[in-house]
Structure 1
Amino acid sequence: MRRLHEGGRIDRSQRIEFTFDGKSLAGFRGDTLASALLANGIGLVGRSFKYHRPRGIYSAGPEEPNALVTVGTDGRREPNLPATTVELADGLVAESQNRWPSLKFDVQGINGLFSPFLSAGFYYKTFMGPTRRAWMFYEHFIRKAAGLGRAGKEPDPDRYEIRHLFADVAVIGAGPAGLSAALAAGEAGARVVLVEQDFVAGGCLLSEPADGEARVWLSVTLARLADMPNVSMMTRTTAFGAYDSNVLGLVERHGSATTDPAKGEARQIMALLRAKTIVYATGSIERPLTFANNDRPGIMLASAARTYLNRFAVLAGTRVMVATDNDSAYSAAFDLAAAGAEVTIADSRAEPTHELLEQARHWGIAVRRKSLISNALGRYAVRAVTLSEPGGAITLEYDLVVVSGGWSPTVHLTSHLGVRPVYRADINAFVPGKLGAGQFVAGAMTGGFITAGAIEEGHRAGAEAAAFCGATKSVQPPFSLDDAGPNDSPLVAPHFVGEKDGSQARRPEHSFPLRSAQRGFGNPKAELTKGKAFIDLQMDVTASDVALAHREGYESVEHLKRYTTLGMGTDQGKTSNLSAISAMAGLRGMAVPDVGTTTFRPPYTPVAVGALAGRSQSHLYKPFRRTPMHDWHVASGAQMLETGAWIRPWFYLASGRDVDEAYVAEMRMVREAAGLMDISTLGKIDIQGPDAANFLDRVYVNGFAKLPIGRARYGVMLRDDGIVFDDGTTTRLGEGHFFMTTSTAKSAEVMSRLEFLLDTAWPDLRVSVTSVSDEWAAMSVAGPKSRDILAAAFPDLDVSNAALPHMGLIEAKYNGRPLRIIRLSFSGERAYEIYAGASVGKEVWCRLIEAGAPFGQKPYGVEALGALRVEKGHVAGPEIDGRTTLDDLGLSRMAGKRSGYVGEVLGRREAFSDPARPRLVGLRSLEPGKPLRGGSILFRPGEPIHGHGLGRITSVTYSPTLDAWVGLGLLARNAAEEGTEIIATYPMKGQTVRARIVSPIFLDPKGERLHG
């Protein structure tokens, strides 16, 4: 156990039980999974991406590249979470990943032996041959080896939400700068939202000793903020993206172990925060050092070792090597020594400051100057390091190595809007570029690493942001460190330093800003002689990979990133970006700013798909519509199908055990007796006004002005460019009153189109259009017995051929509600469409079901309907696909010599008469038992089968009437002669079928069935 008996910011009164790789462990409230694992002596937590090398905990925040774990079970299983950001909760189940069969023994660890063949870009060079289809062989193995964690396959039982937030001032980061900014803006009267990714506020202050003035300053500041009703603090919340108009994307997390779905609690909430101003106080990330085997468990960032010690009371090692090229790591060394560790500092610089050397002497720490780590020894844990020094190499034993290569300001969010970061040589890092109006930065992300300065910067930024919003209340001077404790203990960010005076420890009177030696990326020659020196720990990108990319011409940082996969892991290269840029700059003999940076894009840290979806999942993904008869269909064994926004009967189990059997039976029923179909999904538009007929004459290619009252007509609409838009039927109810029906798929588009034309093209027409789709339930009775069924259902109505001819209309009442019966057919049989008020739709449906039973009528679904229309040669969505003209579909006779309709001029373009354009044809299989397939490509017999061919099959069905597979297709006109044989090839399945070109009307070409 590595937990100290006292100290830290954990609640020792709340013991928490959890498991890791099936082993029961315990921690305390306030722990992260990483701190609890370290406290239990667990250093090996995962395997690396490519080489499957043993990896341990490297950092203490979202920049963690190594310690990725899977949390949860079944539907709550979430992979690739940094253990450093997982808040410990009772019952938490975690497991290591990317290993088999166990973490200690991973078979794929053998990849390290083949590393010469797995260098940067190996996938480009290895999986390209020897044949064109070789990839199909490789793909199976690559997919099995790829990835890190494994997501659950079960449905996630938790709930996710999306909400919208508004603020005058949004402050990102609750470290000393962010807290000070929120305090100033709140005092000025602005509405403030303070966002913090950690589950407690404080930032770097949480890594300071718990008995210092940092704790006092933090407690007082948080109390003052809590008393401000205009300030809201959101912990456990990551600002993952910055967008135009000061919009921030946030994800608020609640662990699955701490939420109760039964109480309606959301596991994660994505919020879009719209702010008038933004204060970025996102801090900085410590950089590692690069040396051979720098990925071994037991090597971590100096700031992480200090955090685990002071925040979580975990001493990660007892014999500690601190390797650094700057001042900040000394704070970690002093704190570790104060906790009882034996500490040595290897400083690559020739002359650290006198103050630091004095502090080290007081703590009994040996400082080795001009000393570089060249190699780490050990496998599952570090046990020793080799130092390169002026006097030669020396190997010393340690159980913990902490490293610090300086600090990189966290510029990600400020870069999301295209603001390029600016390089500062004095800190060897990039800082935010010039931001737009209403955006401010403060704290360590500006390149200043003194806490007192960060507090002052934050206060100034918060006050300026509030003033930008018009908040004018007076603001008190910043709450300083002097106000939090004795004047002899100034605070340093992101680090304190300490001094040993006998048995008492006290804080020094001087703070030490970070000073970088700017020596690039460690020892670039280490890998050549000692072992792999990793730049990107998560993606297993080494220093030699960067050198290889340089030799092969991938010198641009964007090319380097993609060629080596550097920075493409879940950590997005947070600890590796600058090291990689520095390495390439050295190889090219250029300055770091001349090499540039990669492009930072959202999200800053990975975002769960569930959070992005919110409640928009399953049937909540988008609104769906049910017809008035929906419940009857479900109760009667209908298998439902989503068609656009509607849920419709696909087929009925009473007709067959599956769709292939059922639709054929339902087709026979309609052809031989009668079937009842729910067509309530058709678009229905009421058109009224003195100019209604004139309006329809312009909308449709065929005329409607002379349509008699009480009669219906089929019509086709074009787009402005002459392409067919939609088809449907319109019935004239009165002199200036029409009832239009549209296809289900285009109902909303047609309605919008009509309104657009009236508002823009013809505002002088006296016409109103109203969607009445929801007001009417609709059903169709089709088949030879349909008239008999209609007469039985409505005995008071005359439905004879004389009273109700084809395309005729009867208007009546049913239980006091309007009833319309229009005789028209989509199936090719005599058919009637019955429209009743939606409130009585189910009642009318049941009456027709009862009346039709003696005649053999049953309901049928959309699968059978589609097959029936193919037999009759009626075009639908697959043919009216936004690319076909009237001529293509054989409908040009409808327009005749008319003029003045939408699409007329462009529809007569010469290109639309090209012999190579498609024409609607019928196709009949010549090979019994071999089905035609929709999407098949058509070729002439004997011609090479490749490319786009001469056309394609759009719709197919098995025709029980013809006992053959038939289909509709679009074929080049110069190859569409009836009687010609054609080859239909379906590349997806490698199937080829011989077919004959025939008339697209397979059944009843003279229309005797529907007119009878």
Structure 2
Amino acid sequence: MTSVYRTKDGGRIQRGKPLRFTFDGRALQGVEGDTLASALLANGIHLVGRSFKYHRPRGILSAGADEPNALVGVRRDAARYTPNLRATQVELYDGLEAESQNRWPSLALDTGALNGLISPFIPAGFYYKTFMWPRKAWDSLYEPFIRAAAGLGRAPTQADPDRYLNRYAHCDVLIAGAGPAGLSAALTAARSGARVILCDEQSEFGGSLLAETSATIEGLPAQVWLQEAIAELAGNPRVVLLPRTTAFGYFAHNLIGLNQRVTDHLAVPSAEQPRERLWQVRAKEVILCAGALERPLVFPGNDRPGILLADSARTYLNRYGVRPGKRVVIITAHDGAYRAALDLHAAGVEIAAIADVRATADGPAPQAARQAGLPIRLRTTITGTRGGLRVEGVSLAAMDGGPSQSVACDAVLMSGGFTPSVHLFSQSRGKLDWDPAAQSFVPGRSAERERSAGASRGLFGLAEVLADGAAAGADAVAAAGLTPPAPRRLEASGIDLGTDGFLGALPGAGAPGAKAFVDWQNDVTAKDLLLATREGFRSIEHIKRYTTTGMATDQGKTSNMNALGVVSEALGTPIPAVGLTTFRMPYTPVTFGSLAATSRGVLFDPVRTTPIHDWAAAQGAVFEDVGLWKRARYFPRGGEDMDAAVARECLAVRSGVGVFDATTLGKIEVVGPDAAKFMNRLYVNAWTKLAPGRSRYGVLLRDDGFIFDDGVVGRVAEDRFHVTTTTGGAPRVLAMMEDYLQTEWPDLNVWLTSTTEQWAVIAVQGPQARQVLEGLVEGIDLSAEALPHMSLTEGKICGVPTRLFRMSFTGELGFEVNVPTSHGRAVWEAIWAAGQPHGMVAYGTETMHVLRAEKGYIIVGQETDGTVTPDDAGLSWAIGRTKADYVGKRSLAREAMNAPDRKQLVGLYTQNPSVVIEEGSQVVADARQQIPMRPIGHVSSSYMSATLGRSIALALVSGGRARMGQTLFVPTADGEVAVTVTSPVFYDQEGVRVNA
């Protein structure tokens, strides 16, 4: 199948390898090397979609990531459908199925286009005014309508079956962009011995060189030099080349996010390969070579299908062998469009007219166009276009007015100059400077270890771009601590775009009835921007939100600069004073799958189980989720409900013995000569005098003085501490420790190791705990004299090495047996067997909660809410009074932290012992208050205590310790519950049982 739009030769495509594809069900043919956009153009198809607001016909505008119109859905099979892909970035493969979006019932006949008839009634910002009245109509009328109308593509309905992986990498130099500047920088860095990562979003390296036919570098055709440069880099083992990889985000400390598309271009992807790979690269130095984006021009009717950017048309011709039309009109404010005109003319395309809005055009390209006999009209603009689903002609007129002339054509090419792509630089928090000559913002002061090179900082001559890339590569290598090669300037000819251009709207763009679009996807016209300024908006950020310009999926790549120009002229304010919209990541959309990687399905919220989990399940345990862990909540027998099971388990522990799986506790090994000094600085407690073999309850604060975590800490040796944390607190405590160790106290000789997964922990609690264990341990004396409360020892149990703590979270005689997790189940079963003659029960977290509440022991996150100090929780005794400093100490000295009306932990007895208060209930001093009441505290824990035969509760109450014996009230749905304030320790206040 041949097409009048496909050239007979040239380009980088493989004409001998045809590929079949469909668009909206229509069978078409392209060739290997095509994008979907180039293949559609080769088939004479410009109409590819409909705009968001007015559903106007939209055609292919660009050839790259800046495309605002050609958004399509691509389907591989029923489960593999991806909406909103840019046809300009979709590589063609055999069997590709694509469909247009945002139209019904068809692309050519879309009923949504009726919105255009009412466009005078829905100007910019109409929704801010219209949807305010009537007030009650939002939920019933406006919101459902807006949600139904919103969106472009349709969301997939089936789960994504593909795999996505993550990879972390480090390098000396990361280079984003593999055009001439990026390649020159990469060659320089690689020749210095640096570890280099070079990425580019396109399928091939080369950037602008891929569309060059006449440029030379070092006496070689640009295409030959390109092949040799890539071959040299590919042969260097210290260089990683990543085509089809977008640098989408620049994060702090030179962390760059890369999205690599691994298999989307393949007709039959390998099941062994992921679809995409997310790279997180930490680079010593970064070079941004992102190139520049061509600016469109704003004139009436500039949105018809068949109107393209001039340099994109040149790319389609020289890289893909596709003519954008047969008879073309070009409108330009830049010499670059003349290069497109010359190349198209040489390819047999009729150039009907070149309308140059400038007064003069004397550069080499315009001169060559004159010599070729191309019709050039200076100081001329387009005042209108005509055509339905594709442009059929334009009206040309002088810039200063006068009669217009109609010119027939089937394509219009436009060029308003080039804008450096500063998105990644801006993301890095670098400061942009305004370049009045280039009429654009360029990189200024860097905030990271970064430099920009080439067109991304406003350089457009091939020789100077290559030199700038080499200089950036040498600078990066030197900054990374390596020796750069001697500087060498590459000789080059061709590609000198200059810095001319036009910003804003051309004459007639704001005339009545004219639709001159600034943002193609969101249907924002020059008149919309002018309306926003008339209504009082001055900041471009406010205007952006009011009109939605620059808020489409292209993030303003084609619209932002022209919007600035229109607003600047309307306000009579220089562009730098108008401001600049924020460039946010991602640079182009990234799939959710790539960001989620393996965190999906059962791995989205991984389930962690202990070695005793299967045993507990076999015993009929009811489980609950605690963080990522599955924990046995209670062990019902004979049809018991939770209350009955918990009551039985509590009484069994208090009267005999119980066994509890405490494996989920966080465990961190703090080791080193300065371990005690480190712990002393971190925790409120004193640690330097704690003897090996002893342990202590530790409290950890944040900088603001509030409780962050707690747990028992045992000193195993002079230089080693076994630190336990709450089940959910292990990661954040370790992160806090590492943060302080690496940033505040790097002089300390300390190592931190997470050992949560290393130890299975079996808590044996109750008056008969010693009798259960004494026949199982080897080399360990369990007597009260040898192993008192809050001590630890090491030895063996059941022949397995153990780290044995004598400690209790129940208030009873207790031991915590730590054994390697691989032996956890076996040791548990041995303890269980030894405990049966003593009536041992297995108990779960619900029973543990009741037992600890009876003793007034807090749970971080339940008795604390991020605003509780140690004194509030009754833990002042834990603070080392003679310590010079610890995390949070200065905050505790603030006056407000010692105010007498702070909420303090107290116990509550309901005056009706059978009433159990709901946790989270508010506490008030006077039940007769009018609603809204003024609460003085809240209930943090509340249970029915089988041991005490009544309900108990813990609460945080303003000035609580001074209210002992007072009657307070807890409002409930059934009326106020009277409570008496008491000590938070309800059971064995003298601690006789724990020291048995």
Tell me the TM-score normalised to structure 1 length. Answer: 0.78
Determine whether 1:68 maps to 2:71. yes
Is residue 636–residue 652 contact of structure 1 (8 Å, CA) maintained in 2? no
Determine whether 1:344 maps to 2:352. yes
Question: Superposed, which structure 2 residues align to 1:901-980 within 5 Å?
Answer: 911=896, 914-921=899-906, 934-935=919-920, 937-938=922-923, 941=927, 943=929, 949-955=935-941, 968-973=954-959, 979-980=967-968
> Which residue in the other structure is 1:272 paired with?
281
> Which residue in the other structure is 2:8 paired with?
6
SS of residue matched to 1:226: helix
Question: Superposed, which structure 2 residues align to 1:687-766 within 5 Å?
Answer: 723-724=706-707, 728=711, 743-746=726-729
> Which residue in the other structure is 1:647 paired with?
629
For 1:34, give the aligned amino acid: A
Is residue 692–residue 737 contact of structure 1 (8 Å, CA) maintained in 2? yes
Question: Superposed, which structure 2 residues align to 1:839-918 within 5 Å?
Answer: 839-850=822-833, 859-863=842-846, 865-866=848-849, 869-870=852-853, 873-877=856-860, 878-890=862-874, 911=896, 914-918=899-903
Take 2:347 and 2:558, find their aligned partners in 1: how far apart are those partners? 27
Over 3 Å counting, the alpha-carbon distance change for 1:262 and 1:388 in structure 2 is same
Determine whether 1:80 maps to 2:84. yes
> Which residue in the other structure is 1:255 paired with?
263
The alpha-carbon deviation at position 58 of structure 1 amounts to 0.8
The alpha-carbon deviation at position 321 of structure 1 amounts to 2.5
For 1:478, give the aligned amino acid: L
Is residue 188–residue 474 contact of structure 1 (8 Å, CA) maintained in 2? no
Question: Superposed, which structure 2 residues align to 1:347-496 within 5 Å?
Answer: 347-349=356-358, 352-353=361-362, 366-389=375-398, 390-433=401-444, 443-445=454-456, 447=458, 449-451=460-462, 454-455=465-466, 458=469, 471=483, 478-481=490-493, 491-493=494-496
- Please point out which of 529, 542, 551 is paired with 2:512: 529
Take 1:628 and 1:581, find their aligned partners in 2: how far apart are those partners? 63
Determine whether 1:549 maps to 2:527. no
- Please point out which of 164, 167, 170 is paired with 1:162: 167
The alpha-carbon deviation at position 678 of structure 1 amounts to 0.7
For 2:203, give the aligned amino acid: F
Is residue 599–residue 605 contact of structure 2 (8 Å, CA) maintained in 1? yes
Take 2:913 and 2:32, find their aligned partners in 1: how far apart are those partners? 72
The alpha-carbon deviation at position 827 of structure 1 amounts to 5.1
Deviation string, structure 1 residues 936-994 (Cα, Å, up to 9, x no partner): 5555646465698433343456889999997543233478975433226xxxxxx8975
Determine whether 1:301 maps to 2:309. yes
The alpha-carbon deviation at position 84 of structure 1 amounts to 1.0
The alpha-carbon deviation at position 78 of structure 1 amounts to 4.5
Is residue 277–residue 438 contact of structure 1 (8 Å, CA) maintained in 2? yes
Take 1:554 and 1:191, find their aligned partners in 2: how far apart are those partners? 49
For 1:56, give the aligned amino acid: G
SS of residue matched to 1:606: coil
Determine whether 1:35 maps to 2:17. no
**Stretch moving more, 896-905 or 530-539:** 896-905
SS of residue matched to 2:505: coil
Take 2:513 and 2:943, find their aligned partners in 1: how far apart are those partners? 69
Over 3 Å counting, the alpha-carbon distance change for 1:850 and 1:452 in structure 2 is same
Deviation string, structure 1 residues 724-770 (Cα, Å, up to 9, x no partner): 5655557899999998765444567879999999999999x999999
> Which residue in the other structure is 2:587 paired with?
604
For 2:200, give the aligned amino acid: E
Take 1:982 and 1:532, find their aligned partners in 2: how far apart are those partners? 65
Question: Superposed, which structure 2 residues align to 1:114-125 within 5 Å?
Answer: 114-116=118-120, 118-125=122-129
Question: Superposed, which structure 2 residues align to 1:620-631 within 5 Å?
Answer: 627-630=610-613
Over 3 Å counting, the alpha-carbon distance change for 1:969 and 1:386 in structure 2 is farther
Over 3 Å counting, the alpha-carbon distance change for 1:629 and 1:108 in structure 2 is farther
Over 3 Å counting, the alpha-carbon distance change for 1:850 and 1:107 in structure 2 is farther
For 2:956, give the aligned amino acid: L
For 1:216, give the aligned amino acid: P
SS of residue matched to 2:88: helix
Take 1:219 and 1:552, find their aligned partners in 2: how far apart are those partners? 56
> Which residue in the other structure is 2:231 paired with?
226
SS of residue matched to 1:880: coil
SS of residue matched to 2:338: helix
SS of residue matched to 2:18: strand
Take 2:602 and 2:738, find their aligned partners in 1: how far apart are those partners? 30
The alpha-carbon deviation at position 613 of structure 1 amounts to 5.7
SS of residue matched to 2:312: helix
Structure 1 unmatched runs, 5+: 482-490, 495-512, 985-990
Take 1:639 and 1:834, find their aligned partners in 2: how far apart are those partners? 23
> Which residue in the other structure is 2:570 paired with?
587
Is residue 871–residue 1001 contact of structure 1 (8 Å, CA) maintained in 2? no
The alpha-carbon deviation at position 300 of structure 1 amounts to 1.4
> Which residue in the other structure is 2:328 paired with?
320
The alpha-carbon deviation at position 30 of structure 1 amounts to 1.0
SS of residue matched to 1:392: coil
**Stretch moving more, 463-472 or 32-41:** 463-472
The alpha-carbon deviation at position 921 of structure 1 amounts to 4.9
How many residues are matched?
969
SS of residue matched to 2:320: coil
Is residue 667–residue 722 contact of structure 2 (8 Å, CA) maintained in 1? yes
For 2:864, give the aligned amino acid: I
Deviation string, structure 1 residues 660-696 (Cα, Å, up to 9, x no partner): x975464244135566421123356899999999999
Structure 2 unmatched runs, 5+: none
For 2:549, give the aligned amino acid: L
Take 2:88 and 2:420, find their aligned partners in 1: how far apart are those partners? 20
Deviation string, structure 1 residues 149-192 (Cα, Å, up to 9, x no partner): 45557256312222324246x55433344445555666677665
The alpha-carbon deviation at position 868 of structure 1 amounts to 5.5
Is residue 776–residue 837 contact of structure 1 (8 Å, CA) maintained in 2? yes
The alpha-carbon deviation at position 34 of structure 1 amounts to 1.5
Is residue 980–residue 996 contact of structure 1 (8 Å, CA) maintained in 2? yes
Take 2:816 and 2:525, find their aligned partners in 1: how far apart are those partners? 72
Q: Percent identity?
A: 42
Take 2:753 and 2:205, find their aligned partners in 1: how far apart are those partners? 56
Take 1:573 and 1:324, find their aligned partners in 2: how far apart are those partners? 20
Take 2:297 and 2:521, find their aligned partners in 1: how far apart are those partners? 15
Take 2:118 and 2:945, find their aligned partners in 1: how far apart are those partners? 59
Over 3 Å counting, the alpha-carbon distance change for 1:1000 and 1:113 in structure 2 is farther
For 1:778, give the aligned amino acid: V
Is residue 719–residue 902 contact of structure 1 (8 Å, CA) maintained in 2? no
Is residue 250–residue 271 contact of structure 1 (8 Å, CA) maintained in 2? yes
The alpha-carbon deviation at position 821 of structure 1 amounts to 7.2
The alpha-carbon deviation at position 914 of structure 1 amounts to 3.9
The alpha-carbon deviation at position 59 of structure 1 amounts to 0.3
Take 1:973 and 1:965, find their aligned partners in 2: how far apart are those partners? 23
> Which residue in the other structure is 1:335 paired with?
343
Is residue 670–residue 782 contact of structure 1 (8 Å, CA) maintained in 2? no
Is residue 350–residue 370 contact of structure 1 (8 Å, CA) maintained in 2? yes
Over 3 Å counting, the alpha-carbon distance change for 1:539 and 1:634 in structure 2 is farther
Take 1:700 and 1:452, find their aligned partners in 2: how far apart are those partners? 61
